[in-house]
A = this chain, B = another copy of it.
Amino acid sequence: MYKLFRQKLLQALSIGLLSQLAWSQPAIPPSIEPMVSTFPSGSGNVERWGAIEIKLIGPAEGNPFTEVVLSGRFSQGGRVVEAAGFYDGEGVYKIRFMPDMVGTWYFETTSNRPDLRGKKGSFNVMAPTADNHGPVSVRNMYHFAYADGTPFRQIGTTSYAWTHQGDALEEQTLQTVATAPFNKLRMCIFPKHYEWNKNEPLLYPFEGTAPAKWDFTRFNPAYFRHIEQRIGQLRTLGIEADIILFHPYDKGHWGFDRMPSGADDRYLRYVVARLAAYRNIWWSMGNEFDFMTEKIPTDWDRFFQIVQAADPYHHLRSIHNGSILYNHTKPWVTHVSIQSGSAAEDFERAVIYRDIYRKPIVFDEVKYEGNLPQRWGNLSAEDMVLRFWQGTIAGTYVGHSESYLDPNEIIWWAKGGVLHGQSAARLAFLRKIMEDGPADGLDPIDKWQDYPFAGKRGQYYLGYFGRDARTTWPFELYKAELKDGMKFKAEVIDTWNMTITSVDGVFEVKKRGNYLFADKDGRSIALPGRPYMALRIVRLP
């Protein structure tokens, strides 16, 4: 499904229409206020969960970033949504809005400046087009869905600094993700300074002089417009942008990891005002947040609270650990973003996070497929795929990245480019299996011990045997929701070779012992004695 959809961007790339995909591109006469434009067409109409932008001309003198307060009040019927505006440079102010209902919306601006205050207008919101399912939020405690109810089965990847590599490489990265299985991409707002990624970005987020002399009270709008263009392109591709707001891969080189707290807070509000209207935004307060030695624990609570208060759409919010976990039970955390080298290697480890947090678990970093000397970057493709499957049967979600050494130091994990590994194709195969599974998500069938099945009790069972190269599996299902006489069809799945083989016949179950229902004739399913095998067992009507 998503492949067809992604044709669009590939076409756009090939015929040079990329510029049409950016927020700021439509030419709008500056004399007419307020101007309402939509993304990406620039026409007067907008679709549900699309976005509109109100453009206003105001003061350019003084410091508009700190001195001007602007927001829009959007209403439809009894519903009112407030969205903050922002200064986009050269006397231009913008208020962005993502309408979540069809029909006519009205707006009025408020500001501490008379020339920006009381501007009114309206726009009509149409039904969403086929590939627009709205923003993603939590569903069924442990899972995700788009606003229109479509399940979102997270298959993530990470490319921290891909938007800071120049157009050629960035467009190559977009071409890569257009045909890759990933529906979420983790990426940083700030540039990254780290081994294999010491190149300076083309733009900087603040006015000033590189590397470390900045006026933190003045943003560089061009920097943010560029990132927005890339986020918009991901939106077109149906890819969620997991925006990392702070990270430690700076260590004072630019100093964006050690700004004064007032600058941190203003930065967060500015980013939220600019980006929140993109339906594909997720907020990650920090990556390896505990490695940011200049921050204190309560800073992160405050960041969450600022983003939560500023974002009218309640996009998903989390934070990603280095060694020390954030307390994800705090109410502003919507889902759990974990780094662990070992957790997703074993479904009985992975499920612990789910049991404790009672929120969706995303193992965003489980080591990377690659060949770096560092132990976090030399996973085999088999081990990467195994982690996705173990995480899946634990009722959790996993993230991919690649870290293969490259003569030009273009490593996917940092800069994007192309994929060199063998896991992505298998993750596409897994994604298809997830999409064909129950809409409510996959939940562990029996968490007691050594029962590697997730699914929906009584209906659907997905089992995975990992490195266990067994030759048979006795047809035994955990008792919950089963009754004597229920009938099932089974398929053997080779998760590495990407084959699905139907098992002959129908299995009819009968209670056996305290805990199980087994095939009434005591039959087993033959397995090929290879690792990485799975079973799909579906109840017949």
Contacts and interface: CB of A to CB of B under 8 A. Distances in A.
A358 B326 CA distance: 10
Interface string A321-362: 001110111000000000011110110110011011110000
Interface string A389-417: 00000000000000000000000000000
B373 A514 contact: yes
A353 B325 CA distance: 11
Contact of A342 (B325, B329, B340, B450): B450
A193 to B, nearest CB: 21
A514 B346 contact: no
Nearest to A355: B325
Contact of A349 (B349, B357, B374, B375): B349
A346 B348 CA distance: 9
- Looking at chain A's contact residues, the main secondary structure is loop
A432 to B, nearest CB: 30
Contacts of A448: 341-342, 375
Interface in A497-535: 514-515
Contacts of A298: none
Contacts of A14: none
Contacts of A353: 352, 356
A449 B374 contact: no
Contacts of A349: 346, 348-349, 352
A448 B358 CA distance: 25
B342 A348 contact: yes
B343 A514 contact: no
Contacts of A356: 325, 328, 353, 356-357
B341 A449 contact: yes
A393 to B, nearest CB: 14
Interface of A: 323-325, 327-329, 340-343, 345-346, 348-349, 352-353, 355-358, 373-375, 447-450, 514-515
Given A346-B346, A375-B514, 9 more contacts: A323-B447, A324-B355, A325-B355, A325-B356, A325-B358, A341-B448, A349-B352, A374-B514, A375-B448
24 contacts: A323-B447, A324-B355, A325-B355, A325-B356, A327-B329, A328-B356, A329-B329, A340-B352, A341-B448, A341-B449, A342-B348, A342-B448, A342-B449, A342-B450, A345-B449, A346-B348, A348-B349, A349-B349, A352-B352, A352-B353, A356-B356, A356-B357, A373-B514, A375-B515
